[in-house]
Structure 1
């Protein structure tokens, strides 16, 4: 039986990441200089991989993170299911101590299994999971795409990994993420497994 290989990465660094400003799905930011160096390092380390397809979210920071692969002419598909969680009224703002209280309350809800909880105007993990399911069906239903690169966002990645690996959404914090950090997964047709957990070796010495 053939095994599908999935290389799953978070987008590179943006100025919003550095400044502690919430991005979410409603802020379409670009990579900063450090993020572009991260993307270049990832490309240098993995340009030899024979990717059949590149998947990104609809947001430019994911497109820019895999620009080297797209410049090779690899097939590319942007999918809204890969967009970051919506943080509602908080998007584009820096979290203040008062807002921290609400944010941490929502995180506590999620950890306790109340994954329908959301910030004002934002999405819950359950809503993110629901919009990811069509992408998962697409990913698993294309046997000709044996090796794929998927670039998305931190919180949404945690939700996706829970779904692929059959973890409850309350366990999403177990899946750490880093700008341009890599998870390597394999899919046998019935089961996903992690072969490489948040690999950042390609980012050594990037500042």
Structure 2
């Protein structure tokens, strides 16, 4: 069976608890609960180590992936390009207006307006341009035959949700409305001839349309 691409959101951070828009690396470290979440998640890989383990450059992603590395002995690759969507002028803010503005831009991306940008930060297009080539590289190198193992990538909620929805055609309303909790995953299956199918989104299985929440959330908190 062909391996899957598993996109994992990092464990809980101090910025998550404080409701801060923390997007610029290295960023906040894991809380005690975040370490516990990461360790529990890592144990799910003990009996089936991934073929590849990677994380973004952010401290929280590296810390989360480090537990998988120790549990499986699969060496961690820290790669550029798969960090969180930059909040720009909203960075480090925790007020409702900042969260509302970020969430509105995130919703526009999922409505198809990828040119929309956070002031001083990312557009949807800029996230895709840096993130998707990394996944394409993993696919071409590790997911090209029926004996390949899974590729595990520890990354960030907003970026994972945007990239996964665009690559797989998951309904934008579902993608914008349904949060990924810390250490939740989105699982992508490579399709013959190119393209991806979404096999799992947090706790949801396909088809995704009409499931879960119907209100856009802040994907970073």
TM-score norm. by structure 2 comes to 0.78
Which residue of structure 2 lines up, in the alignment, with residue 194 of structure 1? 198
Flag the 1:27–1:20 CA change in 2: closer, same or farther, 3 A.
Answer: farther
Q: Which runs of 5+ in 2 are unaligned?
A: 205-221
- Determine whether 1:87 maps to 2:90: no
- Give a deviation string over 1:57-110, Cα, whole Å, max 9, x none: 11110111121222243132222221000000211121244x355335434533
Q: 1:174 deviation in Å? A: 5.1
Moved more, 169-178 or 127-136: 169-178
* Alignment-derived partner of residue 58 in structure 1: 57
Q: Which residue of 2 aligns with 1:162?
A: 165
Q: RMSD across aligned C-alpha pairs, in angstroms?
A: 2.5
Residues 1:184 and 1:25: Cα distance change in structure 2 (over 3 Å): same
1:9-24 equivalent positions in 2, closer than 5 A:
9-24=8-23
Q: Give the distance between the partners of 1:198 and 1:68, measured in 2 at CA.
A: 20
In structure 2, the residue matched to 1:74 is 74
In the alignment, the residues of structure 2 paired with residue 28 and residue 164 of structure 1 have an alpha-carbon distance, to the nearest angstrom, of 27
Superposed CA offset, 1:104-127 (max 9, x none): 543453354322111221101111
Matched residue, 2:137: 138
Does 2:187 align with 1:184?
yes
TM-superposed deviation, 1:192: 2.1
- The correspondence for 2:156, drawn from 153, 157, 171, is 153
Q: Distance in 2 between matches of 1:197 and 1:93?
A: 28
Aligned length: 198
* Alpha-carbon separation, structure 1, partners of 2:126 and 2:169: 17
Unaligned runs of 5+ in 1: 201-207
- 2: CA distance, partners of 1:96 / 1:175: 19
Deviates more, 1:156-165 or 1:34-43: 156-165
Structure 1 CA distance, aligned partners of 2:43 and 2:6?
15
